[in-house]
């Protein structure tokens, strides 16, 4: 384990119920990150999606992958202090080539694997994939920018 949820909250501004990354298990600055979210039936999203057939929404998977990418971007900022990180935020610029390959349900461990395609200054282009039990369940190309709050 590299970062638990408490440490992730020092990097990202997201909080319950919208913090969608429980743990970071591997990270190489400027290259890739791996982390996961444990999907639980107690999450508020399942009250409406869908009460009799709970499916974790694809947009939440995309957001979780983006949050993992945000941790990667922040941790790749050489020489950045905790105060500098706290005064920045990552904004989505685009989501391309999104595909949802299998449903994610309560009890699943959703593993995010994010690789850097390109980084130029504050702009990050990422190849994002999500897995359950080593099966690809979602993928997308994400573009984001680190900006001042």
Take residue 69 and report the two structure tokens written for it. 């990418």
Q: Over 90: is that where the pLDDT of 79 sits?
A: no
Question: Quick check: is 53 catalytic?
Answer: no
Provide the pLDDT confidence category of residue 115 given band limits of 50, 70 and 90: very high
Measure the CA dihedral 147/37/116/11, to 10°: 30
Q: Over 90: is that where the pLDDT of 53 sits?
A: yes
At 82-109, the pLDDT tens digits run 888 888 899 999 999 999 999 999 999 9
**DSSP structure class, residue 135:** E
Averaged over 112-140, what is the pLDDT?
A: 97
Cβ atoms 42, 36 nearer than 8 A: no
Which domains are delineated in the chain? 5-148 (3.10.129.10)
pTM: 0.96
87-91, 117-121, 123-127: segment of lowest average pLDDT: 87-91
Q: How far is CA 37 from the centre of its chain?
A: 9
Q: Over 90: is that where the pLDDT of 80 sits?
A: no
Output the pLDDT for position 84: 81
Task: Choose the catalytic residue: 2, 9, 49, 98.
Answer: 49
Averaged over 53-66, what is the pLDDT?
A: 98
């Amino acid at each position: 384990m590299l970062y638990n949820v408490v440490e992730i909250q020092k990097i990202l501004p997201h909080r319950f119920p919208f913090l969608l990354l429980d743990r970071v298990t591997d990270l190489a600055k400027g290259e890739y990150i791996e982390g996961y979210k444990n999907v639980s039936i107690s999450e508020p999203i399942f009250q409406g999606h869908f009460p009799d057939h709970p499916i974790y929404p694809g947009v939440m998977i995309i957001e979780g992958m983006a949050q993992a990418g945000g941790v990667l971007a922040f941790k790749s900022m050489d020489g950045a202090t905790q105060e500098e990180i706290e005064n920045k935020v990552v904004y989505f610029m685009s989501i391309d080539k999104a595909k949802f390959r299998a449903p994610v349900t309560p009890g699943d461990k959703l593993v995010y694997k994010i690789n850097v395609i390109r980084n130029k200054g504050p702009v990050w282009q990422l190849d994002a994939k999500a897995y359950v039990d080593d099966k690809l369940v979602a993928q997308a190309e994400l573009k984001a920018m680190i900006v001042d709050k």
